[in-house]
Amino acid sequence: MVEPSLVLYGALYERAMEVLEETLRETGARYGLLIDRKGFVLAHKEALWAPKPPPLDSLATLVAGNAAATQALAKLLGEVRFQELVHQGERMGLYVDEAGEHALLLLVFDENAPLGKVKLYGKRAAEALARLAEEALANPPKLSLDTQYREEAKALLDELFGN
């Protein structure tokens, strides 16, 4: 099937941000991201005390690629899916869970965040975000970008790549 465009805005976006914020508060994780399966960031939240995050684009892309590979592995073994994915280093860790069919939840946490809490609240958040994603897909906003958008974008292409 053709990958649908998952767009969060308005009230749905605000609710997604609330879910991420609450999850950071409950788990003590540093950053929470909702990303689509293509690797684009849909929403992200940072704990107030957290240092500057690594580049979000790179994080999202690698996590989406990793999740896609993990899903392919599951299918090879006759599983529909594998459960959440956790990577843990000496200081930092990642928690990735499916937020429905079209999105992923990513939590980045350090050694002060208990893994049990990260998994528990991560799972709850993923379920809540999955419901929001379903709502968003059921009511896609109509983007009305006209020829002016294309003209302006073309001018920027000339500027960036030369005439």
**Tokens (6 digits) for 15:** 């609710």
Alpha carbon distance 97, 73 (integer Å): 16
Alpha carbon distance 53, 93 (integer Å): 13
Minimum gap (Å) between residue 133 Cβ and another protein: 13
Of the candidates 21, 68, 66, 10, the residue with the CA atom closest to the CA atom of residue 44: 21
Minimum gap (Å) between residue 115 Cβ and another protein: 27
Is 81 a residue that touches another protein (CB under 8 A)? no
Cβ atoms 61, 52 nearer than 8 A: no
State the CB neighbour count (10 A cutoff) for residue 125: 26
- Residue choice 11, 18, 38, 111 for contact with another protein (CB under 8 A): 38
Please name the residue that has the structure tokens 């999850």: 23
- Residue choice 50, 68, 86, 137 for contact with another protein (CB under 8 A): 68
Closer Cβ to another protein, 111 or 150, answer by number = 150
Total binding residues toward another protein, as defined by CB under 8 A: 45
Minimum gap (Å) between residue 7 Cβ and another protein: 5
Query: Which residues are near another protein by CB under 8 A?
Result: 1-10, 13, 36-43, 55, 57-58, 61-62, 65, 68-69, 72, 141, 143-146, 148-150, 152-154, 156-157, 159-162
